[in-house]
Each structure stands twice: as C-alpha cells, then as structure tokens.
C-alpha cells in the first residue's frame, strides 16, 4: 500500500497494490461482479471488460464521484451492506494497515489490520453466490493468516494465490471460493 498524502475529501489513487490486484482479476469472467472500496473505480473498470453487471461501493462519497465516471452502478455504503444480490465475483483492495483507530479510511484497518477487513468480508460473504469467488488484497503488515481463518469460518475455502514484495511489506492476494 502506498501511503499517499490526502485530505479527507479526497480518495485513494490507483497504486502498486491496485495494479497488482488488477492483473490478478483481469481474466475473471461472469455475469455480475462487485468491487468493494472502489476508490477511483479502477478495479470496477477492469471488471466491466468481462462482466455485464458491475457494482462499486465505497464509504467515501468523493471516491464514488470519481468512480462514477467509469462505472455507473456506484453505491455509497459500508462494504456490501446496502446490497442484496448473488455476485459471481467480489473483489476488495482492503484497508489493511494496523491502527488504533480509523483516521484515514482508505488505509486504516484497526487491530492487526483485521478489524475493518473482517467487517468488510463478513458483509461481502453473503453477496457471493455458491461457487462464486471473493478475491481480496491484504499484506504482511496485517495478520493475514488470521484473516484467512476468519474468511473460512464464513463459508469459504481460501488460499493465497499471489504475493509481491515491496520495500516495507509483502502484498498478499487471497482467493476464496464460496462453499
């Protein structure tokens, strides 16, 4: 995750983590996909190449104003809380940095980088259809093994499918299939 200098009415600009996850999901195909925490809409835009119906959510309304230029189904809500649908694919570049409190919603993940990601994945879990996929990006800075364990408790089989070393951390992509 690249720590960017932002004001609160700003949004997360596509960075190394975004591009890493984009490479990983660009060959996925299906009918319906959801990008949680869409930021600029970069990942939602990639998904729209191979999915007919793409929805993007974010709690940051400024981000959604930007995302709306590239994807029309933008919903301002936490995770997937405002939705009821069975998606073939749900993706999320998680806010995973360990933090005591959430100061920057784009990156702060609370204790061990688990608090916010766990809530996001809980909400997302019921939006993935049976045999559908949830793909998320986390990091060696977070307790990602515990996050994987929690994801499995929500009815997924989960495995690490890619890692990428950066200067201070290793990015980790986790692919989960809904059982």
Residues forming contacts to ligand SAM in the complex (CB under 6 A) are 11-12, 14, 18, 36-40, 42-43, 57-60, 63, 78-79, 93, 95, 105-107, 116, 120
Q: Name which of 95 and 132 has its Cβ closer to ligand SAM.
A: 95
Run of H or E including 165 = strand 156-165
* Closer Cβ to ligand SAM, 157 or 170, answer by number: 170
The owner of tokens 């408790």 is 153
For residues 2 and 179, which CB has a smaller minimum distance to ligand SAM in the complex?
Answer: 2
CB of residue 91 to ligand SAM, shortest distance in Å: 8
| 69 Cβ contact list (under 8 Å, min separation 6) | 41
| CB 117 to ligand SAM: min, Å | 9
**CB closer to ligand SAM out of 24 and 179:** 24
H/E element holding 145?
A: helix 144-153
Rounded to a whole number of angstroms, the minimum distance from the CB of residue 1 to ligand SAM is 6
Q: Residue 74 or residue 107: which is nearer to ligand SAM going by CB? A: 107
Q: Least distance from C-beta 121 to ligand SAM, angstroms?
A: 10
Residue with tokens 């688990």: 114
Hey, what are 120's tokens?
């996001």
Q: Are strands 170-178 and 156-165 parallel, antiparallel or unpaired?
A: antiparallel
Number of other residues whose CB lies within 10 A of the CB of residue 8 = 10
Alpha-carbon torsion angle 19, 21, 26, 28, nearest 10: -170
Q: How far is the CB of 57 from ligand SAM (least distance, A)?
A: 5
Q: Which residues lie below 8 Å from residue 146, measured CB to CB, with a gap of 6+? A: 112, 114
Residue nearest to ligand SAM (CB): 37
């Amino acid at each position: 995750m690249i720590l960017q200098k932002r004001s609160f009415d700003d949004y997360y600009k596509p960075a190394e983590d975004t591009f890493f996850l984009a490479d990983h999901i660009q060959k996925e195909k299906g009918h319906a996909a959801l990008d949680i925490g869409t930021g600029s809409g970069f990942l939602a835009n990639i998904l729209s190449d191979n999915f007919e119906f793409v929805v993007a959510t974010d709690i940051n309304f400024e981000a959604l104003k930007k995302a709306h230029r590239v994807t029309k189904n933008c919903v301002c809500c936490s995770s997937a809380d405002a939705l009821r649908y069975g998606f073939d694919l749900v993706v999320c570049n998680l806010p995973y940095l360990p933090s005591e409190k959430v100061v920057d919603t784009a990156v702060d993940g609370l204790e061990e980088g688990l608090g916010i990601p766990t809530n996001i994945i809980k909400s997302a879990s019921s939006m993935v259809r049976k045999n559908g996929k949830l793909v998320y990006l986390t990091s060696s800075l977070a307790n990602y093994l515990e996050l994987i364990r929690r994801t499995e408790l929500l009815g997924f089989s989960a495995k690490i499918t890619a890692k990428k070393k950066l200067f201070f951390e290793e990015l980790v992509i986790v692919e989960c299939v809904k059982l």
